Structure 1
Amino acid sequence: MTTLNRVAITGIGIISCLGCDVDSVSDALRQGRSGIVVDEERKSLGFRSALTGRIDGFDGKKVLSRKERKSMPEFAVQAYAASRQALDMAALDETLVRSEDTGLIFGCDSSCLAAIEQVDLLRERQETKSIGSGQIFRSMTSCVTMNLNTLLGTKGACWSLSSACSSGGHAIGQAADLIALGRQKRVICGGAQEINWQSMCSFDGLGAFSVREDEPSAASRPFSADRDGLVPSGGAAAVVLENYDDALQRGATILGEVVSYGFSSDGENLSVPSRGGLQRAMLQALQRANLQPQQIDYLCAHATSTPAGDVAEAENIKAVFGENSPLVSSLKSMTGHELWMSGAAQVVYCTLMARDGFIAANINFKEPDEAARGLRIVTQTLPHPPKTVLCNSAGFGGTNACLVLDFGESH
């Protein structure tokens, strides 16, 4: 039987509507501070909902030169910034970064704005030569990893993973598997999501967004009976994973451990989650971690504040945990739904909670609906860290990713 390597978390980075550095984001999580606003431009354009997460204080010009940014949409620049934060925290020597033992995997499922911009240029100028070479790379779904690979000089695995709103979760899981199997010694991984209105107009047309524009910070209400839809958001999250023994040997600060990765697909519906798919992924993650359900003390839920999605997740959680629910919160109550990056962002948020000694609340929770009754929803910030965590993420098409994280005393 193959002996698997342990996988350490040694660095994290984040650009989100909660802040542009890990300390600001940790403070927002602790305080229960929302990053959701009303975007008046969306309203003037005819959006049903003008609500969105908003990233304040990020300036790509301070991160990369104009030439370097030429082939990068804003969310790819944010992914680079988050990765740099994570690498600085991990204190990885540049020779290790620029190694064939170092991989790069990000979850990303669209690059909408660049495609629109090049078509607009063609219509305006009636020629293609003025579009510019940068738009080729900006418009590709793999734009994050191809650009980061060039900038960071990594020489191992390099690809983007596309699986809707579970993309970030699958990217972290696949990166951990590569290390566990000995195929990479370290992987820079995460997720990125564009936050512009152009990428959200068709989603708005589905009627899935909350319309509580009178109080934006209270619009996202996962698991609450009075929820009326999700709020779109975005940014970038990055995690440095390493072979645990190698990290110990070089004296790295180990923030936690990715113990296991479970995955599944529903095989049923494009947009409506099933009553069994996420359950199978959770059980697989627990089995691979050699854990019983009662050993999970905190569950970071995918719950996006949609009527059908939250019900399905609540029922899947109950199917796994029965009457013994762990503490549960959906941090999308503060961030909105960060879509492609959300699974990776959850790993960053949980690592921050473990580092800084608290469990963040599911804010805006009033009363549970029937499906959520019995879940131990965290409604106030708790003054102790999570230790053994299950992170859920799910996406259109019924794709599910679950990660077990360990933040025990040994770290």
Structure 2
Amino acid sequence: MNRRVVITGMGIYSVLGKNLEQVNESLKQGKSGIGIDKDRIDLGFISPLTGILERPDLKGILSRRQRVGLPEQGEYAYMSTIEALKNAQMDEQFLDNNEVGILFGNDSSAVPVIEAVDKIREKRDTMLVGSGSIFQSMNSTVTMNLSVILKLRGINFTISGACASGSHAIGMGYLLIKQGLQNAVICGGAQEVNAYSMGSFDGIRAFSTRIDEPAKACRPFDKDRDGIVPSGGAASVILEDYENAVKRGAPILGELIGYGFSSNGDHISVPNVDGPKRSIERALMDAGLQSKEIDYVNAHATATPVGDLNEAQALAHFFEATNTPVSSTKSMTGHEMWMGGASEIIYSMLMAQNSFIAPNINFENPDEYSAKLNIINKTQEKEINTVLSNSFGFGGTNSTLIFKKLQKV
């Protein structure tokens, strides 16, 4: 089988806004969601920079039993998924009557693990850890909890692929539907924002130390970039088989047409050029497109010196001659880690829906490789039909997704 796969709903809980409308406005304005976390200063972090995000209050929305198993990123994922389901016109009755799956990217759940170990060491009594701890601390916490809360009966597992996790989750959902194994899958990515989850990253000096002006700290592709700004939240998209979506009168937002992937087979933390190039090439082949047919590229670019340099070389191989517009929304959001591959599909979808390209803010001075790309540093009005989005991660995992506005046949 080779079925068409469409996006019928999206939801977001991000440092740019707590819903699609707020996020769309922030993207247009080039508004940064980055600030200083006092807790990180108190904990002795080298960099206290982070995306700033308020946790939702789910009391009165979910029962205590449902809340007790949800960690921070699970709360974000619940919020983004409820918005996505509403926009896809999938209510409780639809979920009861149809087999809907869930695939989420998530690669850590630090706080519940740390708190449980602290309690065991202090009290010497595992009974005091609490019944919800295990469900919060497993990497599969998001899919585990949401599948029960929403009573889902389709595919149900979590993808841990470092900072490509959210993108791979969407890619796997796409493949399952394309092959006829599922009709509808909730896909997304979720990332905790707390300080404890970022201590080891801070310890290897991965983060920007430009703390005087937090909004200017994250500088993808800029010659003066000095590292990542960590961030998080959650993003959800509803993927469906085209024919079933049309049959039920679903709002069709776009069509996924390409998924590419690769492994660098090289250094565990330093990306290379070959792996990203093969991921992009595979996505273009899957979509049946040439690089000149891509209207916009949402780059992975996290503002690390080597990572951005190598991605720029990979992108230039395909898009230098075409002068295709490129930007990294991480300049505004920071690096949303396990969530980023999913959120950046939504950011790109909002741009396509509203005919603009969000800026790569803080891009002031190109280096030798980013100078070869058409990097957009101010909001630009533009009709967008086809988008390519990159996500790369530790261990050399790469994912590339391509979507387009729906073309009926």
Paired with 1:309 and 1:124, the residues of 2 have a C-alpha distance of 41
Alignment of structure 1 residues 35-184 onto 2, 5 Å: 35-56=33-54, 58-61=56-59, 63-98=61-96, 101-184=99-182
Contact 1:261 1:402 in 2 (8 A): yes
Counterpart of 1:246 (choices 207, 220, 244) is 244
Gaps in structure 1 of 5+ consecutive residues: none
Contact 2:73 2:233 in 1 (8 A): yes
Instruction: Name the structure 1 match of 2:359.
Output: 361
| TM superposition shift of 1:63 | 4.1
- Of stretches 342-351 and 62-71 in structure 1, the one that deviates more from structure 2 is 62-71
Paired with 2:25 and 2:61, the residues of 1 have a C-alpha distance of 23
Paired with 2:172 and 2:112, the residues of 1 have a C-alpha distance of 28
Counterpart of 2:2 (choices 1, 4, 13) is 4
Q: Hey, which bits of structure 1, 4+ residues long, moved more than 6 A?
A: none
> Residues 82-102 of structure 1: CA distance to partner in whole angstroms, max 9, x if unpaired?
101000000014343235631
Contact 1:15 1:21 in 2 (8 A): yes
Change in 2 beyond 3 A, CA 1:402/1:99: farther
| TM superposition shift of 1:168 | 0.3
Counterpart of 1:343 (choices 341, 344, 352) is 341
Q: Tell me the secondary structure at the aligned position of residue 200 of structure 1.
A: helix
Paired with 2:227 and 2:237, the residues of 1 have a C-alpha distance of 29
Gaps in structure 2 of 5+ consecutive residues: none
| TM superposition shift of 1:64 | 2.3
Contact 1:237 1:345 in 2 (8 A): yes
Q: CA RMSD, aligned part only?
A: 1.4
Change in 2 beyond 3 A, CA 1:52/1:240: same
Alignment of structure 1 residues 215-226 onto 2, 5 Å: 215-226=213-224
| TM superposition shift of 1:385 | 4.0
Change in 2 beyond 3 A, CA 1:304/1:34: same
> Residues 353-377 of structure 1: CA distance to partner in whole angstroms, max 9, x if unpaired?
1222211010111011111112000
Paired with 1:380 and 1:63, the residues of 2 have a C-alpha distance of 40
Instruction: Name the structure 1 match of 2:277.
Output: 279
Counterpart of 2:25 (choices 24, 27, 35) is 27
Paired with 1:410 and 1:42, the residues of 2 have a C-alpha distance of 51
Instruction: Name the structure 2 match of 1:201.
Output: 199
Instruction: Name the structure 1 match of 2:322.
Output: 324
Give, as a single letter, the amino acid of the residue that structure 2 aligns with 1:185: N
Contact 1:96 1:102 in 2 (8 A): no
Contact 1:229 1:306 in 2 (8 A): yes
Q: Number of paired residues? A: 409
TM-score normalised to structure 2 length: 0.97
Change in 2 beyond 3 A, CA 1:306/1:171: same
TM-score normalised to structure 1 length: 0.97
Contact 1:9 1:258 in 2 (8 A): yes
| TM superposition shift of 1:409 | 6.5
Paired with 2:341 and 2:11, the residues of 1 have a C-alpha distance of 14
Give, as a single letter, the amino acid of the residue that structure 2 aligns with 1:76: G
- Of stretches 48-57 and 255-264 in structure 1, the one that deviates more from structure 2 is 48-57
Paired with 2:215 and 2:195, the residues of 1 have a C-alpha distance of 19
Give, as a single letter, the amino acid of the residue that structure 1 aligns with 2:305: P
Q: Tell me the secondary structure at the aligned position of residue 368 of structure 1.
A: coil
